[in-house]
Structure 1
Amino acid sequence: MRPGDHAAPYTGPQTAMMYGLVFVSLIETVALAVLIPWPAVHRVVLVLDVYGVLLMLALHAACVTRPHVVRPDGTLRIRYGALFDLTVPPDAVASVRVDRRYPEGRLVTLSEDGVLDLIVGSQTTVTVELTRPLAFRRPLGARAEARVVRFHADEPRALVAALRQPAPP
């Protein structure tokens, strides 16, 4: 981040779930270590369990260290860890508002009418209507375009205020 940037974290709704999954995975690792009598199978399962725990911790750490960012010039960067990154230039923003929704679907959901939902903890809290469609990459690399972007921010009012604030002269 640069000086003057406004960071907007988005991990609030998922933190308890992520740590809960890590805890359950650790319990599973210990239980399987006791239950599996074959050394070769035990080693393979142990490696897979440790890899899964590290993957969950890394995903959450990436989300914590890569928040949404509003730059002083009004550029909005919407992110989800290392999986999703969309830069919205200030001239592409028609309107922005706090708008809590509970959409169904995966992390990145694009409707037929061009509404992109970046869902965290089964919710979105900010809606950005665009002046033109913006191209983006989905987490697995496919390209798409959106004309409305809805995403989650832990403090949506602060993010919306930072976007509406005029750039300093």
Structure 2
Amino acid sequence: MDWSAEAIEQLRALWAEGHSTAEIGRRMGISKNAVVGKAHRLHLPARPSPIQREQAAAASAAPRPIAAVAPVAAPAPRPVMPVAPRPPAPAMRAAPPAVVRPFPRSGARTCCWPIGEPGTPEFRFCTSESFAGKPYCLEHASIAYVKARDRREDAA
């Protein structure tokens, strides 16, 4: 958007009236983001968010009871009790290193389809022989590679 002098003056006037950025955008025929960006570049004064304004309005609308304040006596000083020294904390044992199982690879390419939940002992890969030039076996390739028209038919 090219900001003419008239458009800038209109923005400043609507901003001063307290309209929201979305409302200013609607009135000027531009996007809310264009209004926000230009207001920032013009260093227009910030306004509280609509959420904060609604909370402040709700808080000011509710009547507050006035409580009588009674004088409070200072608490009496407490005697200092000697503290027995604590025994030293047991040494922290380091966590055992994570077990990394090597990915079994044979001379032929194997399927890389994940099976199970990662991070659990049951997690593994399919490792069946992969399908010509694909990282998956025939069964998993049929799941991974779906034609676009097939997906549209399933969606209906």
Shorter-chain TM-score bucket reads under 0.3
Higher share of residues assigned strand: 1
TM-score (norm 1): 0.19
TM-score (norm 2): 0.20
Larger Rg: 2
Higher relative contact order (CA 8 A, sep 6+): 1
